[in-house]
Amino acid sequence: MRSVALKDKRIKSNRVDRIFSIFNYLFAAAFLLIILYPVYFVIIASFSNPYDVAGGRVWLWPVNFTLAGYEAVFKDSEIWIGYRNTILYTVLGTLFGLAVNLPAAYALSRRDLVGQKYIMLFFVFTMFFNGGLIPTYLTIKEFGLLDNFLVMIIPFAVSVYNIIVARTFFSNNISQEMLEAAQIDGCGNVRFFVQIVLPLSKAIIAVIALWTAVGHWNSYFNALIYIQDSDLYPLQLILRNILITNLQQSSAGLTQLSDQAMQTGMIMRYAVVVISTVPIMCVYPFIQKHFNQGVMIGAIKG
């Protein structure tokens, strides 16, 4: 009788687990649909007639397929200038951000750093308080970085959040015994960091690189404030100007604006979203494995 009762209990438990798993899968599928559908809608809307989009006739596939929006966007030479500038800002900004934040994080992870807690407190303080927009603008002006290519790379390279995540990773994965063994063999601090710490930290490097690259790719506010030369505009700022111009023209209902021009302006809104998003999304799958590992170790342990 006892074995029968245990068998019935096991069957009941398996049934409950199966129902719970089905519920979880359904919930995850619904949540995934909620997240992915807006992205999918923007893509199909960029290939559809804008009046069909505005009329709510675009749901699952493009209606009256057209490439007019993309043709209008890529005919603008400023788009290519923006792409060039954004790629340079992203690549150089990411490399410089890694060169600044990783050594700082490693130094703060060392127990023998004199005044470690006070230095860390100084860094954390800047996460809550800053000098403000006007003092920052005046500082950048005094350094001669206004309308300068380097203003998008150097002044805002330090990220305290990235330093904290990387420091936690170093503290939990680079042991003191490893450092002592290297020092016995005559290895200095710089050599230890370059030849031992960095090769063992590929996961956190991928995480910091991804966060920094996405930040640079999506950045437009700094360029809006500190850059006046249109030849230095990043892609996001150029696309922002295109969207604002088209929106103002469509809202004003200018009589001199032809129906075709208004139609092109409406469809360009979706095309510029796709153009600005796809490149950075294509990079993510290549570092997803390192990203998942690094962010878990760097953010949860300790």
Domain chopping of the chain, boundaries? 2-46, 69-300
Give this prediction's pTM: 0.77
Per CATH, the number for 69-300 is 1.10.3720.10
Distances (CA, A) of 143 to 48, 73, 132, 133, 219: 48, 36, 17, 15, 21
Q: What is the pLDDT of residues 236-288, one digit of tens each?
A: 888 777 777 766 665 555 444 455 556 666 677 788 788 778 777 777 777 66
Q: What is the pLDDT of residues 191-228, one digit of tens each?
A: 888 888 888 888 888 888 888 988 898 888 899 899 98
Phi and psi at residue 31, to the nearest 5°: -65, -40
In the 8-state DSSP scheme, what is residue 232?
Answer: G
Helices (H), 76-234: 77-109, 116-128, 133-142, 160-173, 176-184, 189-192, 202-218, 221-226
CA 7 to chain centre: 51
Question: Residue 136 and residue 142: Cα distance in Å, rounded?
Answer: 10
